[in-house]
Chain A
Amino acid sequence: METIMIILIGVLVTVATYFILSKNVIRIILGTALLSHAVHMLILTIGEVKKGEAPILGTDGSTYTDALPQALILTAIVIGFAVTAFVLVLAFRTYKTNGTDNLEEMRGDDYE
Chain B
Amino acid sequence: MTIFLAICIPFLMALLVPLMYTFFPKFKIGWFVLIAPLAVLGILASYIPKIAGGQTAIYTYDWVPSLGMSITVYLDGLSMIFSLLISGVGALVILYAIHYLSSKEALHHFYCYLLLFMGAMLGVVFSDNMMVLYAFWELTSVSSFLLIAFWHHRHASRTGARKSMLITVTGGITMLIGFLLLHEMTGTFSIRKTIEQAAILYDHPLFIGALICVLIGAFTKSAQFPFHIWLPDAMEAPTPVSAYLHSATMVKAGIYIVARFTPIFAYGWTWFWLVTFVGLITLVWGSFNAVKQTDLKALLAFSTISQLGLIMSLLGMGSFAYHVQIDTSTIIYTQATFVALFHLVNHSTFKGALFMAVGIIDHEAGTRDIRRLGGLMSLMPITFTITVIGSMSMAGLPPFNGFLSKELFFSSALATASIDMTSLPSIVALVPIMAWVASIFTFIYSCILVVKTFFESPKKLPDVKIHEAPIGMLISPIILVSFVFGIFLFPNTLAKYILSPAMLSIYPQGASQEMMTPHISAWHGFNTELWMTIGVVVAGIILFKLLPKWKGIYNRLPKHLTLNGLFNRALYEAENVSSFITRLYMTGSLRQYMLFVYIVLLGVVGGYFALNDAFNFSMDNNAPIHIYEVILVGVMGAAAIAMLFVSSRVTATVLNGIIGYGLSIFFVIFRAPDLALTQLIVESVTTVLFLLCFTYLPAWKKDRLPSRTKIMNGIISVAVGMTVVAISLSVLHFNEFKTISSYFENAYELAGGKNIVNTILGDFRAFDTMLEVVVLCIASIGVYQMIRLRMKKGGDRHENK
Contact = CB atoms under 8 A, between A and B. Distances in A.
B689 A95 contact: no
B787 interface: yes
B717 A17 contact: yes
Contact of A48 (B617, B640, B652, B739): B739
Contacts of A19: 643
Given A23-B703, A55-B757, A70 B686 contact: no
Contacts of A7: 725
A34 B675 contact: no
Contacts of B682: 77-78, 80-81
B787 A93 contact: yes
B330 interface: no
A64 B739 CA distance: 12
Contact of B800 (A13, A23, A91, A108): A108
A86 to B, nearest CB: 5
B775 interface: yes
Contact of A71 (B590, B698, B703, B765): B765
B721 A53 contact: no
B600 interface: no
Given A9-B728, A44-B670, A85-B783, A103 B697 contact: no
Interface residues on B, range: 35 or more
A82 to B, nearest CB: 4
B672 A44 contact: yes
Interface in B550-574: none
A78 B685 CA distance: 12
B728 A45 contact: yes
A101 B697 contact: yes
B720 A13 contact: yes
B760 A67 contact: yes
Given A64-B756, A68-B740, A20 B775 contact: no
Contacts of B744: 55, 67-68
Q: Which of B633, B740, B756, B778 has the most CB of A within 10 A?
A: B756
Nearest to A79: B775
A78 B674 CA distance: 12
Contact of A30 (B656, B739, B745): B656
Given A4-B625, A50-B623, A77-B679, A95 B630 contact: no
Given A13-B720, A23-B591, A55 B703 contact: no
Chain B at the A interface: SS class: helix
Contacts of A108: 799-800
B667 A78 contact: no
B55 interface: no
Interface stretch (B138-146, B530-538, B747-755): B747-755
A77 B570 CA distance: 55
A18 B721 CA distance: 10
Contacts of A49: 623, 670
Contacts of B660: 33, 37
A82 B779 contact: yes
Given A4-B633, A75-B761, A103 B756 contact: no
A95 B772 contact: no
Interface in A55-108: 55-58, 64-68, 70-71, 73-75, 77-86, 88-93, 95-97, 101, 103-104, 107-108
Contacts of A50: 623-624, 669-671
A11 B637 contact: yes
B716 A17 contact: yes
B776 interface: yes
B595 interface: yes
Contact of A86 (B640, B649, B675, B782): B782
A8 B637 contact: yes
A1 B698 contact: no
B740 A13 contact: no
B200 interface: no
B659 A30 contact: no
B706 to A, nearest CB: 12
Contact of A68 (B714, B748, B760, B779): B760
A20 B666 CA distance: 25
B610 interface: no
Interface string B569-611: 0000000000000000010111100110010000000000000
A42 B623 CA distance: 15
A56 B755 contact: yes
B686 A81 contact: yes
Contacts of B755: 55-57
A104 B593 CA distance: 13
Contacts of B765: 71
A84 B672 contact: no
Q: Which of B629, B663, B670, B772 has the most CB of A within 10 A?
A: B670
B741 interface: yes
A93 B786 contact: yes
A39 B24 CA distance: 74
B641 A95 contact: no
Interface string B780-795: 1011001100000000
B697 A6 contact: no
B700 A74 contact: no
Contacts of A30: 643, 652-653, 656, 690
B731 interface: yes
Nearest to B773: A78
A17 B694 CA distance: 22
A82 B685 CA distance: 11
B644 A18 contact: yes
A10 B500 CA distance: 83
A101 to B, nearest CB: 6
21 contacts: A1-B623, A2-B619, A10-B725, A14-B717, A15-B643, A19-B643, A21-B594, A26-B649, A49-B623, A50-B623, A54-B672, A54-B673, A57-B748, A67-B744, A67-B756, A74-B674, A77-B679, A78-B682, A88-B689, A104-B589, A112-B586
Closest 4 CB pairs of A and B: A14-B721, A10-B725, A82-B779, A17-B717
